[in-house]
Copies of this chain bind each other. A is one copy, B any other.
């Protein structure tokens, strides 16, 4: 069976968990406290981060490359469209969330509030928290603009782009940092993706010391 070394609230890990679950690839989840500098982990992973997937006798770091690999080796159900144009749009949006959204929002809110505490790295920087709380509004508006024109973020079918976005938003929702009143289309989109069986393990996550809000696991939030 495949093994995923992960951290529960990491959006990069959640994106891979969603891909695995959607493709019905059975996988054991192993929590990896990568900041504790475990020598075994460094041997497995010179980049020193999660997720790491053990599958097909190989050890794979790097969430974007993992998802493309799963797409090529386990094509059903597809999480990318067929056309080069459609695939471009999926990849553009995955980068949007994993690069820009991560830099402007996730690293400013989740890392300040949760990772710092878990790693014993001090208190949240209020300037960062403020800047993340401001930036998420602009990103939710961008998503609303996309979803006004499309059923899913990258087009008419659900893709890796939706998983990348939902991975970030679900981690932020765990710490009550998403204002679901801001846009009805974004809320509807999240309700659709949240109700998929692939999402169940994410809604069941519990991080000691951090209690999620009631609506976090509620499909009717």
Residue-by-residue, is A1-44 near B (CB-CB < 8 Å gives 1, otherwise 0)? Answer: 00000000000000000000000000000000000000000000
Residues of A near any B CB (own CB < 8 A): 46-47, 58, 60-62, 64-66, 68-69, 72-73, 84-85, 87-88, 91-92, 95-96, 100, 142
Hey, which chain B residues are within 8 Å of A96, CB to CB?
A: 47, 62
User: Can you list 21 A-B contacts with CB-CB less than 8 angstroms, sorted by A residue number?
Assistant: A47-B96, A58-B85, A60-B88, A60-B92, A61-B92, A62-B92, A62-B95, A64-B64, A64-B95, A65-B88, A65-B91, A65-B92, A65-B95, A66-B88, A68-B88, A69-B85, A69-B87, A69-B88, A69-B91, A72-B84, A73-B84
Decide if B91 touches A68 in the complex (CB within 8 Å).
yes
In the A-B complex, the 3 residue pairs with the smallest Cβ-Cβ separation, listed nearest first, are A65-B91, A72-B84, A69-B88
- Closest approach, in angstroms, between the C-beta of A138 and any C-beta of chain B? 10
Residues on the B chain within 8 Å of A87, using CB: 68-69, 72
Dominant secondary structure of chain A at its interface with chain B: helix
Q: How far apart sit A84 and B74, CA to CA, in the bound complex (Å)?
A: 10
Report the nearest B residue to A69, measured CB to CB.
Answer: B88
